[in-house]
Amino acid sequence: MHESGGTGYLYEGLVLLGFALGFVLLFRQLRLGATLGYLVAGAVVGPQVLGLTGGAETKIQFAELGITLLLFVVGLELAPARLLRLRRDIFGLGLAQVVLCGLALTSLIGLATTFTWAAALALGLPLALSSTAQVLPMLQSAGRLRSPFGERAFSILLFQDLSLIPLITVIAAISRNPEAQEGPPGWQLALMTVAAIVGLVLAGRFVIRPMFRLIGNIGEREMFVVAALFTVVASAALMQWLGLSTALGAFIAGVMLADSPYRHELETDIEPFRSILLGLFFLSVGMMLDLHAIAERPLFVAGMALALIATKALVIGGLGMVAGMNWRSALALGLLLSQGGEFGFVLFAQAQNGLLISPEAASLFGAVVTLSMATTPFLMMLTAPLRRDPTSSEEREGPRADGASALVIGYGRFGQTVAQMLIASDIPVTLIDRDTGMIDTAGEFGAKVYFGDGTRIDLLRQAGAGEATIICFCIDGQQIDAGVLEAVREAFPQARVFLRAYDRRTLIDLRDAPHEYAVREVMESAVAMARAALEALGDNLQDIDSAEHTYRDNDRERLDAQREAGDYRAARDMVIRQQQR
């Protein structure tokens, strides 16, 4: 009965959702992550165990839209300026990872098996790619996607996605099947990729943004959902039509909307679809797992999965240390990216069509990839004590709501002054910092500082931001951008946001971001030194006050002009200059 018509879809939906719910809840309780729960659920309901559903290949084609949505959401978090800042990690660290891991795995397969070197290359290169669909949600759930560690991991994953087309070209070039070599040459694919990216950028600026502006004026929330899905599907469909990476197209579309006022609305609308489709993707991967291949050659599959993990962990960890990471962070990066990825299945199919490997080999190495993906949660959990810095070996207490009127995010030299003045005025304050050394030092002086990333909305809510009157961001550097401030205002509209800005460029960049007050971190101390210098030179108090007022008035007018122009080079004629002698 369940094979016919709509009843079949209802039956399969019931089975898949039921098993997914049960296994994901179980594995969450065991702290092994949702991904492993989905994989096991898929293997159990699949044709080789219970056989309750079929058509895994069809489902995975639809579920790959989940990866596309994931890259769109990630793109929304990366404004073009931030993406430009990551270019060295993307094209330096990412390129080195793909090349070195690909060559190392090719050599390993060529020397340890009877495969030809062409087949070893067709297997080794795909194994160099990691699982974007597994790693990015892990980083997001841990709140580390915006951290330096998360940005490095993301940069490598993004380059892996960019490398998909060159890898397809390489496999086509060594193919033994004449039909597989009839596609466009690599240089033409590269030009098509650049042209498609430029086209998406122009469409984002002149079509997508005006469309969302119109929908925002209409005020129909469900139209945002439709428009968001249309944007993702249209960009992915364009790339697929050109034979390029669908996920890359969605990512570019997300980047183009990253600095738009609709970013958080889009992220909220897309998130449920992304989560469900990614879950279906991993269910499908589990259903496609060839348990017979594992049963026939269990030692080979387990040994190859172990060799894959060890090789990638060593190579990526080594690259991390070369890039300036400490050994603990480099080890974490290597283990996090040590698994095979979903694009491996695509490239294995390409190699099979090119008569480079047999269907049995494609199935066998598909099992290796799936098994390596299943080990990642175990590896991250088992190595947590080793990767944890000795200064933070004990479990840190996260913030909790205690009725404080003010939240001070960042308890360094700047935040300490702000917090202590508030406390001196009997204002209840909650202090948050993620520097464990600073937390320990503050504790020696009787200050209670909670551990956490104060730019995360969920952590701010946990700390009581929903009831706070003031939120003071006292973090150094340029960690606070317009997106963070917009998210804070949307989540906690009653709170007044005060901001420590790195320099006047930061103030210009944040000119349209919601905040009550911003101060350059060194301005007031510089003014104080200038006053002391004038006093030492013999100026009287009236002249000193006049000089300060002149500077402040001039600086305010110049900053207003720069904000209006959106360019720190504006109003250069207003800079106070020394008269020629």
Spatial CA neighbour of 410 closest among 436, 433, 439, 440: 433
In the three-class reduction of DSSP (H, G, I as helix; E, B as strand; rest coil), residue 496 is classed as strand
Residue 581 has pLDDT above 60, yes or no: no
Residue 333 has pLDDT above 60, yes or no: yes
The top-scoring range by mean pLDDT among 107-111, 136-140, 249-253, 552-556 is 107-111
Give the mean pLDDT of 532-558.
90
Residues in Cβ contact with 173 at an 8 Å cutoff, skipping those fewer than 6 apart: 181, 186
Q: Following DSSP, what letter does each residue of 84-110 receive, concatenated?
A: HHTHHIIIIIHHHHHHHHHHHHHHHHH
- Give CA–CA dist 491/73, Å, rounded: 19
What is the predicted pLDDT for the residue at 4?
45
Residues in Cβ contact with 509 at an 8 Å cutoff, skipping those fewer than 6 apart: 481, 482
Give the mean pLDDT of 408-424.
90
What is the predicted pLDDT for the residue at 49?
79
DSSP 578: P
What is the predicted pLDDT for the residue at 212?
80
What is the predicted pLDDT for the residue at 391?
46
Spatial CA neighbour of 323 closest among 308, 333, 336: 333
Put simply, whether the predicted model's pTM sits higher than 0.75 gets the answer no
Residue 488 is which amino acid? V
Residue scoring higher pLDDT (25 or 446): 25
What is the predicted pLDDT for the residue at 178?
64
Both structure tokens of 530: 């200038």
Percent of the chain whose pLDDT exceeds 90: 16
- Give exposure, 101-115, as e/b (b: 16+ Cβ within 10 Å): bbebbbebbbeeeeb
Of the given ranges (118-127, 255-264, 412-421), which has the lowest mean pLDDT?
Answer: 255-264
Residue 521 has pLDDT above 60, yes or no: yes
Residue 317 has pLDDT above 80, yes or no: yes
Residue 518 has pLDDT above 70, yes or no: yes
CB atoms within 10 A of CB 521: 17
Q: How confident is the model at residue 392 (pLDDT cuts 50, 70, 90)?
A: very low
- Give CA–CA dist 333/330, Å, rounded: 5
Predicted confidence (pLDDT) per residue in 250-306, tens digit:
888 887 777 676 766 777 777 778 778 878 888 887 887 777 777 888 899 899 999
What is the predicted pLDDT for the residue at 50?
84
What is the predicted pLDDT for the residue at 103?
95
Q: How many residues does the chain have?
A: 581
